[in-house]
Amino acid sequence: MPQARSIAADFLSPFLDKTAHAGKKMSDATTGYQSRIDLIRENEALRDELESLRLESVTAAALRSQNIQLRQDVDAPKLPGYRYVIASITNRDPASGGRRVRINRGEKFGIEIGQPVTVYGKLYGRILETSKNSSLVLTIYDPNCKVSVRIVGTGNHGILSGHDDQRWQADPFCIVRYLPRDERYEANMTIETSAFGMEIPAGIPIGEIVPYGENAIVRTIDDLYTTALIKTYVASNHFDFVTVMAAAGVE
């Protein structure tokens, strides 16, 4: 009997070895498949974690930028007789090339049509429309926004408005018209609001004169008046808050 079992074992041995080998291969394949699944899941988890960290970093950078701007707005010089209302920009109108923006403060906060709007203490525009809880700002980059200005250190006055050839999200320029034609003008002369404005007080900085070209600081129109190109202090789309100079005593 033992001899019969021995003979049978010898006969079946090759088949049993193949079966064991096949089983081992299946086991190894199953283990490898499971390992790949685990690796895929681990990679997905790592990607999710990296994306979460990236969003946190972006959010933190945005908050730092907002805090810096709010600090600059708070620390900007204040003119007496005004109450300064900080508002958040909720929309930049693409139809106007970003020259008109909506803010989240309105009549409820004493905001009225014509009031000046500043960023970092520099003129940005004025209130065009109001509702109870929001307002529309017409920025100085819009050709329809006319502001009485003067060149600091001189008696030369003119009217500032947005440049007609303004592109969406381009660095903003304005133009001052009706300057005296027989005066001397130089690059980097400072422009600010003048006392001739009916709604906007004098002394709010706006920007500086930049040359039209290598040989032309300013241009004379029909021998009647001079125009100057102005690089504004405020870039049109690089901030989230503005400050409205509301009438004092209105809460």
Q: What is the pLDDT of residues 179-204, one digit of tens each?
A: 999 899 999 999 999 988 878 999 99
Average pLDDT rounded to a whole number, residues 140-149: 94
Please, is 172 exposed, middle or buried when counting C-beta atoms within 10 Å of its C-beta (0-12, 13-18, 19+)?
buried
Q: Are strands 205-210 and 135-139 parallel, antiparallel or unpaired?
A: unpaired
pLDDT digits (tens, 9 = 90+) for 169-183: 456 789 999 999 989
The pTM of the whole model exceeds 0.75: no
pLDDT at 60: 53
Buried b (16+ CB within 10 A) or exposed e, 196-206: ebeebeeebbb
Q: Which of 235, 248, 238, 243 is nearest to 88 (CA)?
A: 243
Distance separating alpha carbons of residues 162 and 176, to the nearest angstrom: 9
CB of 246 within 8 A of CB of 82?
Answer: yes
- What is d(CA 232, CA 59) in angstroms, rounded to the nearest whole number? 28
Task: Measure the CA–CA gap between 185 and 213, rounded to whole angstroms.
Answer: 14
Q: Evaluate if residue 116 carries a pLDDT over 60.
A: yes
CA distances from 122 to 12, 27, 46, 233, 238 (A): 95, 74, 46, 7, 14
Reported as type and span, the H/E element at residue 11 is helix 2-75
> According to the model, what pLDDT value does residue 28 have?
56
Mean pLDDT of 58-86: 63
| Max Cα-Cα span within the chain | 131
Task: Locate the DSSP E strands across 37-166.
Answer: 82-92, 100-103, 116-119, 122-130, 135-139, 147-151, 157-162
Does residue 26 register a pLDDT over 80?
no
